[in-house]
Amino acid sequence: MDVRDIRDAAEEWPARAGETPFQGRVTGVRTEEVRMPDGGWARRDYQLHPGSVSVLALDEQQRVLILRQYRHPVRHRLWELPAGLLDVPGENPLHAAQRELYEEAHCKAGEWRVLLDLYTSPGGSDEALRIFLATDLGDADGERYAAHGEELELETARVPLAELVRLVLAGELHSPTMIAGTLALHAALTGPGLDGLRPADAPWPARPF
C-alpha cells in the first residue's frame, strides 16, 4: 500500500436491532447488532457521547497550563489539560474551548490552532475530541468563574513541556488527553513547527459545526 493511502476513512457497516437501554444526563449506551464480513451478526454496546474539546495552553516560557482533578471511575486525581463537553448541539468547538480555558483557569489566549483530533476510545465510545493549542496567554477579563462540584478542588500548575514529555514516558501521567496533546506538541515543535498546524476553524467531520 502506498503511504499516501494511510488515512482513516468513514465507513458504516449494516446494523440492526438498535436500541438505547440507558440515557443519562450527558451520555448514553447504545446496543446494536452489526453485520460481520463473514455474514454473521455481532452485538456491539457502546457509549453515546456529545464530543468534547480540550486546550493545551502554552506560555512564552514553553510551559503548559495543567489542572489536577479527581476522577471517580479510576479513583485517581489526575493532571489534565483544561477540557469540557460539547453539550450544546452544534456548538462551535473553538468557542467551547475558549469557555473552558476561562472557566477552569481564568485564562485567555490571543492565538488558537488545532493541535489534533482523535476518538478517545473508538472500540467502546463514539466520543470525538479536538485538542486546541492556545498561545499568547493572559489573564481573563472580569471575575473568576464560580466553580462547583468536583471543580472546587481544581489545582493548577505550569510545567515545562520537556518535563511533561518525561513524565508521560515515565508512566507518571495517565490522562489520554494530556498524553496525546503533550506528545503532539513536542512532535510539532521538533518537526514542521506550529505553522504546520491547522487553523482553529478547520473542519471537523466527526463533529460538524
d(CA 184, CA 76): 24
CA 97 to each of CA 104, 108, 181, 205: distance values in angstroms, whole numbers, following the listed order? 11, 10, 14, 17
Contact 145, 106 (CB under 8 A): yes
Contact 145, 103 (CB under 8 A): yes
- Rg, the chain, Cα only: 19
Any idea what DSSP says for residue 105? H
Contact 100, 55 (CB under 8 A): yes
- Determine which one of 11, 100, 151, 163 is catalytic: 151
d(CA 98, CA 151): 17
Distance, CA of 135 to chain centre: 17
Distance, CA of 19 to chain centre: 27
Active site residue 151: yes
- DSSP assignments along 45-58, one per residue: EEEE---EEEEEEB
User: Any bridge partners for residue 160, and if so which?
Assistant: 63
Which residues are known to be catalytic? 151
